[in-house]
Amino acid sequence: MILAMIPSFSMLTAMPSASFLLAQQPDPFGGWGFFVPIILMFILFWFLLIRPAQKREKERQQMLASIRKHDEVITAGGIIGRVVGIQEKAEGIAGGEDVLRIEVDDGTHLRVLRSMIIKVRGKEDGSGSKSDQSAADSKKS
Protein backbone atom coordinates (compact mmCIF):
# COMPACT_ATOMS: atom_id res chain seq x y z
CA MET A 1 0.00 0.00 0.00
CA ILE A 2 2.70 2.50 0.90
CA LEU A 3 4.80 1.25 -1.98
CA ALA A 4 2.01 2.09 -4.41
CA MET A 5 2.22 5.78 -3.43
CA ILE A 6 5.99 6.05 -3.99
CA PRO A 7 7.02 6.30 -7.63
CA SER A 8 8.98 3.34 -8.77
CA PHE A 9 12.70 3.45 -8.76
CA SER A 10 12.76 2.74 -12.46
CA MET A 11 11.06 6.09 -13.17
CA LEU A 12 13.57 8.04 -11.05
CA THR A 13 16.59 6.42 -12.60
CA ALA A 14 15.27 6.78 -16.14
CA MET A 15 15.45 10.62 -15.97
CA PRO A 16 18.87 12.00 -16.91
CA SER A 17 20.72 14.02 -14.29
CA ALA A 18 21.43 17.75 -14.75
CA SER A 19 25.21 17.21 -14.88
CA PHE A 20 24.75 14.73 -17.71
CA LEU A 21 22.73 17.31 -19.68
CA LEU A 22 25.35 20.03 -19.10
CA ALA A 23 28.16 17.77 -20.19
CA GLN A 24 26.44 17.11 -23.50
CA GLN A 25 26.01 20.80 -24.45
CA PRO A 26 28.62 22.27 -26.79
CA ASP A 27 31.08 24.80 -25.33
CA PRO A 28 30.01 28.30 -26.45
CA PHE A 29 33.66 29.46 -26.54
CA GLY A 30 34.86 26.50 -28.58
CA GLY A 31 37.51 25.13 -26.20
CA TRP A 32 38.74 28.59 -25.08
CA GLY A 33 36.30 28.71 -22.15
CA PHE A 34 39.11 28.22 -19.64
CA PHE A 35 41.02 31.28 -20.88
CA VAL A 36 38.08 33.70 -20.96
CA PRO A 37 38.10 34.45 -17.17
CA ILE A 38 41.89 34.90 -17.23
CA ILE A 39 41.66 37.32 -20.15
CA LEU A 40 38.85 39.25 -18.42
CA MET A 41 40.95 39.53 -15.23
CA PHE A 42 43.91 40.84 -17.24
CA ILE A 43 41.68 43.48 -18.87
CA LEU A 44 40.33 44.45 -15.45
CA PHE A 45 43.86 44.79 -14.02
CA TRP A 46 44.90 46.83 -17.05
CA PHE A 47 42.14 49.41 -16.59
CA LEU A 48 42.29 49.52 -12.78
CA LEU A 49 46.03 49.32 -12.08
CA ILE A 50 48.40 49.49 -15.03
CA ARG A 51 46.84 52.25 -17.11
CA PRO A 52 46.41 54.77 -14.24
CA ALA A 53 50.00 54.14 -13.12
CA GLN A 54 51.29 54.81 -16.63
CA LYS A 55 49.23 58.01 -16.79
CA ARG A 56 50.62 59.23 -13.43
CA GLU A 57 54.20 58.46 -14.53
CA LYS A 58 53.71 60.34 -17.80
CA GLU A 59 52.39 63.39 -15.91
CA ARG A 60 55.36 63.21 -13.51
CA GLN A 61 57.84 63.10 -16.42
CA GLN A 62 56.16 66.16 -17.96
CA MET A 63 56.31 67.96 -14.61
CA LEU A 64 60.03 67.19 -14.22
CA ALA A 65 60.79 68.27 -17.78
CA SER A 66 59.02 71.60 -17.24
CA ILE A 67 61.19 72.72 -14.30
CA ARG A 68 62.76 76.12 -15.02
CA LYS A 69 64.80 78.67 -13.10
CA HIS A 70 62.92 80.51 -10.35
CA ASP A 71 60.39 77.67 -9.91
CA GLU A 72 59.69 76.69 -6.33
CA VAL A 73 60.16 72.94 -5.79
CA ILE A 74 59.66 70.38 -3.05
CA THR A 75 62.09 67.45 -2.90
CA ALA A 76 61.37 63.88 -1.84
CA GLY A 77 63.13 64.69 1.44
CA GLY A 78 60.72 67.54 2.16
CA ILE A 79 63.12 70.39 1.36
CA ILE A 80 61.46 73.44 -0.17
CA GLY A 81 63.56 75.74 -2.31
CA ARG A 82 63.78 77.86 -5.44
CA VAL A 83 65.67 76.63 -8.51
CA VAL A 84 68.61 78.91 -9.26
CA GLY A 85 70.47 76.71 -11.73
CA ILE A 86 70.15 73.56 -13.81
CA GLN A 87 73.11 71.39 -14.82
CA GLU A 88 71.98 68.90 -17.45
CA LYS A 89 73.58 65.46 -17.74
CA ALA A 90 75.96 66.00 -14.82
CA GLU A 91 78.84 63.54 -14.65
CA GLY A 92 80.35 62.02 -11.55
CA ILE A 93 78.22 60.90 -8.67
CA ALA A 94 75.01 62.06 -10.39
CA GLY A 95 75.48 59.33 -12.98
CA GLY A 96 74.43 61.41 -15.98
CA GLU A 97 71.21 62.75 -14.44
CA ASP A 98 70.22 66.39 -14.37
CA VAL A 99 71.22 68.26 -11.22
CA LEU A 100 69.25 71.24 -9.94
CA ARG A 101 70.80 73.90 -7.76
CA ILE A 102 68.14 75.08 -5.32
CA GLU A 103 68.26 77.93 -2.86
CA VAL A 104 66.62 76.97 0.43
CA ASP A 105 67.48 80.16 2.31
CA ASP A 106 69.37 83.36 1.59
CA GLY A 107 72.79 82.21 0.42
CA THR A 108 72.18 78.49 1.12
CA HIS A 109 72.24 76.38 -2.01
CA LEU A 110 71.78 72.63 -2.40
CA ARG A 111 72.37 70.34 -5.35
CA VAL A 112 69.46 67.95 -5.93
CA LEU A 113 68.81 65.36 -8.64
CA ARG A 114 65.90 66.31 -10.89
CA SER A 115 64.31 62.89 -10.29
CA MET A 116 64.01 63.66 -6.55
CA ILE A 117 61.57 66.54 -7.10
CA ILE A 118 58.00 65.63 -6.13
CA LYS A 119 56.19 68.95 -6.62
CA VAL A 120 56.78 72.10 -8.65
CA ARG A 121 55.21 75.48 -8.11
CA GLY A 122 56.05 77.90 -10.88
CA LYS A 123 56.99 81.52 -10.41
CA GLU A 124 53.55 82.65 -11.58
CA ASP A 125 51.84 80.54 -8.86
CA GLY A 126 53.35 82.72 -6.15
CA SER A 127 56.43 82.02 -4.12
CA GLY A 128 54.56 81.17 -0.96
CA SER A 129 51.23 81.22 0.75
CA LYS A 130 50.07 84.04 2.99
CA SER A 131 50.72 81.97 6.11
CA ASP A 132 54.33 81.40 4.99
CA GLN A 133 54.81 85.13 4.35
CA SER A 134 53.24 86.15 7.67
CA ALA A 135 55.46 83.64 9.49
CA ALA A 136 58.52 85.11 7.77
CA ASP A 137 57.43 88.66 8.67
CA SER A 138 56.97 87.69 12.33
CA LYS A 139 60.50 86.21 12.43
CA LYS A 140 62.01 89.42 11.04
CA SER A 141 60.39 91.67 13.66
Contact 120, 114 (CB under 8 A): no
Q: Which amino acid is at 63?
A: M
DSSP class of residue 47? I
Q: pTM higher than 0.75 for the full model?
A: no
d(CA 112, CA 90): 11
Instruction: Name, in order, each residue with C-beta under 8 angstroms of 29's C-beta and a sequence gap of 6 or more.
Output: 36
Full set of structural domains in the chain with CATH: 22-62 (no CATH), 68-128 (2.30.30.30)
pLDDT at 24: 61
Instruction: Please list the ranges in the chain whose pLDDT falls under 50.
Output: 126-141
**What's phi and psi for 68, nearest 5 deg?**
-130, 170
d(CA 54, CA 70): 29
Q: 38-74 as b/e, with b when 16 or more CB fall inside 10 Å?
A: eeeeeeeeeeeeeeeeeeeeeeeeeebeebeeebbbb
Query: Length of the chain, please?
Result: 141
pLDDT digits (tens, 9 = 90+) for 25-49: 666 667 777 788 899 999 999 999 9
